Amino acid sequence: MNYLKQLKFFFLISMSLILIGCDSSEETSLTTGTSTLSVKLMDEPGDYDNVFIEVLDVKVKVNDSNDDENGWQSLETINTGVYDLLELTGGINVLLVDDYEIPSGVLNQIRLILGENNTIVIDGEEFPLRTPSAQQSGLKLIVNETLESNYSYTFLLDFDVDESIVMAGNSGNINLKPVIRATVETSTGAISGSITPIDVQTEVSVSNGSETISSFTNENGNFILVGLTQGTYSVTITPDTSSGFTTQTIENVEVNIGETTDIGDISLN
């Protein structure tokens, strides 16, 4: 009887060690090796002539959930410079970082570092965009996305211009307080289509009930809205009010991960 008890005891100890070894192996496989990361900048439309921002760098924090200034890694941004956000709509984006190798694991945060050459043009007049002192070290975006070894990931940084520009009361200052949505291109889908006549400026917005994303048609009347989570969307087409055309809404448009849903050619009426 004692022999059977000893045998059972050693069996349980062995199984525990095996399970611990499996968990440790799974955790090690997640946090070892490398992944490649690309970062693109895009924008939702805003009611201004131009919104210029200066991009200096993109940094990340991997396998470090502490909200402090330690552990940040520069991605050595390849396309620094001043960009007009209002040119980065309708599916147009700029590649800031291209296939940069970082440790696998959990990408906790992305930080966009901006310079001082930020301006806005309203009705043909240019004004400086002031960045609050709290944002001088860069805008931090919480991501918490798992990066598996030997996989490539592309993150879309989607500026919301209307939410990012703040008129500072009677001071006359215009502040830049960036509102940015970060999504992974490989885990999202898109909606595309075209509008006729093409010479009417038309805003296209999509909503799934929890978020709304907008863009304008380009010079050929085409549009594409990217970075959409999987689900069912309503698409609202809003022509310029001076055109005389009415707003249309298309319901129950399905978006699937990794796919672009083309809703075809839509005629304004």
Chain-centre distance of CA 181, in angstroms?
4
- What's the predicted TM-score (pTM) here? 0.70
Contact 223, 192 (CB under 8 A): yes
Q: For domain 188-269, say whether CATH 2.60.40.1120 is its number.
A: yes
- State the pLDDT confidence band at 258, using cuts at 50, 70 and 90: confident
Instruction: Give phi and psi for 97, each to the nearest 5.
Output: -135, 135
Residues in the chain: 269
Structural tokens at position 202: 């038309």
Residues in Cβ contact with 129 at an 8 Å cutoff, skipping those fewer than 6 apart: 51, 52, 53, 118, 119, 120, 165, 174, 175, 176
pLDDT digits (tens, 9 = 90+) for 152-173: 889 999 988 888 999 887 777 8
pLDDT digits (tens, 9 = 90+) for 190-205: 899 999 999 998 999 9
Contact 104, 30 (CB under 8 A): yes
pLDDT tops 70 at residue 224? yes
